[in-house]
A and B are shown apart, each in its own frame.
Chain A
Amino acid sequence: MKNGMIISLKASAVVLAVCLAATGCAKLPEKLVSPMLKIEPALVDNREMYRLTLNTGLQNENNSTALLDVKGSVYFKAAGSKSPRVMTLPFVVPVILPFDTGLIDIEKTFAENEIMPLVKLLGSDREKLQSEKLLERTFMDDSTIGFEINGYAKKDIIDLLKERLNEKNQ
């Protein structure tokens, strides 16, 4: 019984070590860097639409791991952990080198019924947006804007740079 317990503890330790080695310990970005959001009325095919522009970034704080093909989405929601998301914008960042910021630039056009929940969330409304022609937010509360990463690959920076050098030399 005691031997069995020792063996199962050893097996668990080995499995844990293998899992840790497989997952590695790359640190993922935890917040969006200086998000800037613009919503402006636009005419598309003679239809009244709204153009949304979001510029932000994700910082790679790892010192030797590059993040590749980072796929995820930026979302907007009212304050409160259980509030539903009013809009989700998917993004892909091809590469974020160590100590660098991968830029997320999203430009998308929406119909009125799609954009208005976000406009209201940001404290404006249709009339105000039509009269001012622009809704801009540069300092956004972390409870209003968030992001999630759905997939990424990681690579040691030295291997990545060696590959790039070899590609260039070939």
Chain B
Amino acid sequence: MKKINDSRIYLAGAITTLVVSLVFGAVSFYSILFVEPKVERLLRPAESAGAHYKQAYIILREPQLFAGYSNFDAEGMSVKNSLAFFDKQIYSGEEIDDSRVAYLDLLLDRRKKGSGLGRNTMVFFMMLSLLFWGLFIQERMSAAKQSS
């Protein structure tokens, strides 16, 4: 009985998972390498200034892909309350003083958890892709052996 050649399926699986992995990786590492360090610098500047906290908040107000601001569990309620507080504070032109930095850290921590989750998802899809590549190569080799 002739063996069915599954290499096309494996190739499609390998490419799809690789693309998904690269997209998640790009989004997560952009946050890890550029956004989070920038926020850290704004939160802990050389000289204390309220405007830095506001800039940091505006960056943090854009949620990370894996740490959106739409669903909150009990732990996330503090994040929701912080968003409501800082939105109002900036809209009404009030200053953000040093005592509120802990709440900005809370938002930064959520972003870090989101980018961490994105990075882990990237690794998962990368491993899946490697598995597909392995199966693809094996299938091609056995097909070549069969034809010879």
Contact = CB atoms under 8 A, between A and B. Distances in A.
Interface of A: 63-64, 66, 95, 97-100, 157-158, 160-162, 164-165, 168-169
A98 B87 contact: yes
Nearest to A168: B93
B84 A64 contact: no
11 contacts: A63-B69, A64-B61, A95-B91, A97-B88, A98-B87, A99-B80, A99-B83, A99-B84, A100-B88, A158-B61, A169-B51
Nearest to A99: B84
A161 B91 contact: yes
* For the complex of A and B, 3 pairs with smallest distance between CB atoms: A99-B84, A63-B69, A97-B87
B84 A164 contact: no
Contacts of B61: 64, 157-158, 161
Contacts of A164: 90-91, 93
Contacts of A63: 68-70, 83
Given A63-B69, A158-B62, A98 B93 contact: no
B58 A97 contact: no
A165 B90 contact: yes
A165 B87 contact: no
Contacts of B81: 99
B23 to A, nearest CB: 22
Nearest to B91: A164
B84 A98 contact: yes
Nearest to B55: A165
B93 A161 contact: no
A98 B83 contact: yes
Contacts of A169: 51
Contacts of B70: 63
A66 B87 CA distance: 10
B54 interface: yes
Contacts of A66: 87
A165 B87 CA distance: 11
A161 B80 contact: no
**Of B70, B80, B87, most A-chain CB atoms within 10 Å:** B87
A99 B91 CA distance: 14
**Of A99, A158, A164, A168, most B-chain CB atoms within 10 Å:** A99
A138 to B, nearest CB: 24
Contacts of B62: 158
B84 to A, nearest CB: 4
A97 B86 CA distance: 10
Given A97-B88, A100-B87, A165-B90, A158 B58 contact: yes
Given A165-B90, A168-B93, 4 more contacts: A63-B83, A157-B87, A160-B91, A165-B58
